[in-house]
Amino acid sequence: MKSIIFIVVLACSAFTGLGQKKAKASEAAAISAATVERVAKTLAADAMQGRAGQVGGVLAAKFLAAEFNRIGLDKFPGLTSFEQTFTAYETRTTALYVMLNNVPVAKEKTVLVTGQPHLNWAEDDDPAPRVIVLGAEANFNKAIRPLLEPTENTVVFIDPAHQEAFTRLSRHLQGGQLQSQKPGPFSTVLAVVAVGNNPIHYRIAANTTVRPVEMRNVVGVLPGQNPERAEETVVFSAHYDHLGFLPAVAGDSIANGADDDASGTSAVVALAEYFKKKNDNARTLVFVAFTAEEIGGFGSQYFSRQLPPQKVAAMFNIEMIGKPAKFGPKTAFITGYDKSDFGKILQRNLAGSPFRFEPDPYPEQQLFYRSDNATLARLGVPAHTISTDQIPTDKLYHTVDDEVESLDLKNMAAVISAIAESATSIVAGQDTPTRITNAGSIVR
């Protein structure tokens, strides 16, 4: 689950004839609590280093690929491995100096967004960069957002009234920016400083490295068994990445991300195992563990371009199911409940069961937009997130204390069983949720 931050734009059953054998197999299939526990514990172990970067991220992906192989999933069309690799570009500014009217602007009041390795600017350059003065009354987000994918060289002097919004943005950008496309040869320099009414004289110098970073989703497929439905896919997803290392608290600096989202990822593995055993899915099932959710959703963005969205009948995205929901054990909630009839279908499939799914009780948290479902929802897919997290009071969220010991593994396995059951008619091709036409975006 992403924090709410300034988002950088950098971003009919066909089986009636199959007889007794199939029916027996279906009855035998159950979510394996042992798999849920083992996968959650492995992903949340310190050895995974918070599942970020080229060590922890790669280890986690290899582990999940081995799980998909063990279960006997097929490879995603066009891939020769369970890893769906792609390249993103990381830019890291190593030096940035801004002088305004011969006075240096403090480092923490400057930010550079660039694809250029070196900058050496002054107001008398020809051509000179565009200069924008952002007054106290301006709408910070609206003004700054388009400048974060620069298409010309721009210097923005920002009134100190926007310090807070600037700090939020700067914190988000610090430590390197990731983009799905190689950044173009332009730059935006932001500096929080009062310019007054004097003519502006400035000098700007900066050094930046841009390097390609290999990223990987882990994807496995169970082909649909009904020829009339097999072209349609149902996606079960969760993000396996987490935050890596955070500032140490009591000697612990590893953000294990047990709930966020080792819990959801263990659900994807357990569901893959379940549906493989059940062996009667009419539609094609795609199981995907996304990378880079926490840092901008790059994994789901790449994935969404590798299949025709109009053929995705539904997406079950699973986020933070490790602790019981506010409605009690064996319950969960569905984000964006009103955006399609996906939630109603799931509820219907659970009627008479010990499980209960409710609409998201925290709409003000905008959870619909804070996970990978949003990317596919914007393409029309009924893509929703299922979660149990009591996010307004979850003190472990995005801390080094999100450890496996804080999870209720028994309830987690129950919720995953509920997800399996709630998906029955969609997997069987009997129900098709309405498309999302009003995905919209996060409201600030």
CB of 1 to Zn ion, least distance (A): 4
CB of 398 to Zn ion, least distance (A): 6
Regarding 295 and contact with Zn ion (CB under 5 A), the answer is: no
Regarding 374 and contact with Zn ion (CB under 5 A), the answer is: no
Per-residue x/- track, 13-42, Zn ion (CB under 5 A): ------------------------------
Regarding 360 and contact with Zn ion (CB under 5 A), the answer is: no
The footprint of Zn ion on residues 259-278 (CB under 5 A) is: 260
Regarding 416 and contact with Zn ion (CB under 5 A), the answer is: no
Q: Which amino acid is at 85?
A: T
CB of 337 to Zn ion, least distance (A): 21
CB of 242 to Zn ion, least distance (A): 7
Regarding 389 and contact with Zn ion (CB under 5 A), the answer is: no
CA distances from 425 to 81, 155, 280, 339, 415 (A): 30, 55, 12, 19, 18
Within 8 A by CB and 6+ apart from 197, the residues are none
Regarding 372 and contact with Zn ion (CB under 5 A), the answer is: no
**CA torsion, ordered 370, 306, 213, 207, to nearest 10 deg:** -70
Regarding 44 and contact with Zn ion (CB under 5 A), the answer is: no
Regarding 319 and contact with Zn ion (CB under 5 A), the answer is: no
Using the minimum distance from each CB to Zn ion, give the nearer residue, 273 or 293: 293
CB of 259 to Zn ion, least distance (A): 9
CA 160, 165, 166, 171 dihedral sign is positive
Judged by CB under 5 A, the number of residues near Zn ion is 2
Distance CA 357, CA 372 (A): 20
Which stretch of DSSP H or E encloses residue 58?
Answer: helix 58-71
Beta-bridge partner residues of 121: 204
Q: Which amino acid is at 409?
A: L
Number of alpha carbons in the 13 Å side-chain half-sphere of residue 195: 22
CB of 339 to Zn ion, least distance (A): 22
Return the closest-CA partner of residue 426 out of 225, 308, 285. Answer: 285
∠ CA 217-220-223, nearest 5°, is 145
Distance CA 333, CA 245 (A): 30
Per-residue x/- track, 223-262, Zn ion (CB under 5 A): -------------------------------------x--
CB of 294 to Zn ion, least distance (A): 5
Pairing of strands 130-134, 233-239: unpaired
Regarding 43 and contact with Zn ion (CB under 5 A), the answer is: no
Regarding 320 and contact with Zn ion (CB under 5 A), the answer is: no
Which of residues 1, 156, 215, 258 is near Zn ion by CB under 5 A?
Answer: 1
Burial class (CB in 10 A: 0-12, 13-18, 19+), 220: buried
Residues that bind Zn ion (CB under 5 A): 1, 260
